[in-house]
A = this chain, B = another copy of it.
Amino acid sequence: MIGTVHLVGAGPGAPDLLTLRAARLLAAADIVFHDALVHPDTLALATRARLVPVGKRCGKLSSAQAFINKRLVDAARRHAVVVRLKGGDPLLFGRAQEEIDALRAAGIPFEIVPGVSAAFAASAEVATSLTRRADASHAASRSVVFVTPSLASDADPSTADQWLLATLAADTAVLYMASREAGRIARGLIDGGKPAATPVAIVENASLPQATAERTTLAHLAAHGLARRDGPATLIIGEVMREADAIELAAEAILQERCRAA
């Protein structure tokens, strides 16, 4: 027999931010290979399945990628419904291409079930849109870049700074897995020409009850870095994160009343 491998996004953390399709597949799964940070209530939906943790955490490889690939192929030769459950969306920072290539090479059928990525939960946590139209007091944000910065010494030198250029060029930047190096990243962005006063939102454990959010600036981040975090943190950098001030909100309220009266 040959089963199907479903590469499934588990969403940003909260169990009810799973998609309906993902919930149905978990209920039908024979075996689930899951990342380290998937919520226990999400895993509990896989009532029939053997659960196999294969996650990487904080950059430490719990299972080498080639070994995960092999296990997926082997499982599809024994089970009808194999789920590979990844945090967020499987096709963003999930190393899914290596698994897809291995499944293709082995002739194993597969499908991909998209999920809600952390950036969207993080921006929801601060109730601020990643994009906006221009108006009298705001520039437009029409481009949002999602980045994993690589300051590590093992980075390919030919592409080592490409993420920095992309982060500088986009109106809004969302940095994944960046909390450890946040100070150096902020200094790099300021050196690259990003205004030091650019607002930054730092969201930890987005979508979970223990979520925290704080707002700061590139300058402050460059000077102080980030205190050590327990959960995964997402940084959102850009003018969209500048908080509307009291005067703006009051003006908006007056306009609304006029609309209402008119």
Contacts and interface: CB of A to CB of B under 8 A. Distances in A.
A95 interface: yes
Nearest to A131: B93
Given A144-B146, A163-B143, A169-B165, A113 B105 contact: no
Contacts of A14: 21
B89 A120 contact: yes
A156 B249 CA distance: 24
Most B CB within 10 A of own CB, among A93, A131, A168: A131
A92 B240 CA distance: 12
**Which range contains the number of A residues in contact with the other chain?**
35 or more
B91 A128 contact: yes
Contacts of A123: 91, 112, 114
Contacts of A227: none
Interface stretch (A30-38, A46-54, A217-225, A251-259): A251-259
Contact of A252 (B94, B101, B248): B101
Interface string A100-114: 111011100011111
| Assembly stoichiometry (copies) | 2
Given A19-B18, A124-B91, A143-B162, A129 B115 contact: no
B133 A142 contact: no
A1 interface: no
A187 to B, nearest CB: 19
19 contacts: A9-B116, A15-B20, A17-B19, A70-B256, A73-B256, A90-B129, A93-B131, A97-B129, A101-B252, A102-B252, A112-B124, A114-B116, A139-B158, A140-B156, A142-B147, A142-B148, A165-B169, A166-B169, A166-B171
Interface of A: 9, 11-12, 14-21, 23-24, 66, 69-70, 73, 89-98, 100-102, 104-106, 110-117, 120-121, 123-124, 127-134, 139-140, 142-150, 156, 158-159, 162-163, 165-171, 207, 240, 244, 248-250, 252-253, 256, 259-260
